[in-house]
Structure 1
Amino acid sequence: MTTKESQRKASKKYIAEKLDEVKLRVPKGEREILKKHAEKMGESVNAFVYRAIKETMERDNKE
């Protein structure tokens, strides 16, 4: 097994054991807007969306 194959296998195992997936659909063109904003903030799109959700939930729970 090559290093790439073993790394891919390890990543797949980690994802299966540690993470859940949520699919997000946005209107055409919005993905690029999200991507540019996330990059500006020094984040991946995933990190940005997750942060936005967490911050909104925290704010909502204070009400």
Structure 2
Amino acid sequence: MPEKTEAQKKAQKKYMEKFVEVKVRMTPERRSAVQAHAEAQGESTTGFINRAIDETMERDNAAPGAAGGATEGEIAGPSD
């Protein structure tokens, strides 16, 4: 693969500045399983992990009484 031009390097650097990295610890076996699953789904490992996070957060937020707080229109506290 040919070396990147200075413009390509600059564009990639600018693009990558939009992101932060998050470290997740797991066993090598689990990492392999996650990578294999992502590949089987036709996505990158990062894409799969982000999708899993998004879907879980959406499901958690849709659950009644999500996050242990009162839902809209409810008053938290004991019933009369």
Question: TM class, shorter-chain normalised?
Answer: 0.7 to 0.9
Name the residue aligned to 2:12. Answer: 11
For 1:45, the aligned partner's letter is T
Higher deviation after alignment, 5-14 or 27-36 = 5-14
Instruction: Tell me whether 7-16 or 40-49 shows the greater mean CA deviation.
Output: 7-16
What CA deviation, in whole Å up to 9, does each residue of 1:2-46 have, x standing for no partner? 961422332122111x21221111123111111110000000000
Structure 2 counterpart of 1:47: 47
Q: Which is higher, the Rg of structure 1 or of structure 2? A: 2
CA-atom RMSD, angstroms?
1.8
Q: Identify the residue that residue 23 of structure 1 maps to in structure 2.
A: 23
Q: Which runs of 5+ in 2 are unaligned?
A: 64-80
Task: Name the amino acid aligned to 1:31.
Answer: R
TM-score normalised over the length of structure 1: 0.81
- From the two aligned structures, give the one with the greater helix fraction: 1
Stretches of structure 1 that go unaligned for 5 or more consecutive residues are none
Structure 2 Cα separation of the partners of residues 29 and 56 of structure 1: 23
Equivalent position of 2:36 in the other structure: 36
- Quick one: distance in 2 between partners of 1:29 and 1:9? 36
Specify which structure has the bigger relative contact order, considering alpha-carbon pairs within 8 angstroms and separated by 6 or more residues. 1
Q: Which runs of 4+ in 1 moved over 6 A?
A: none
Percent identity, aligned pairs only, is: 49
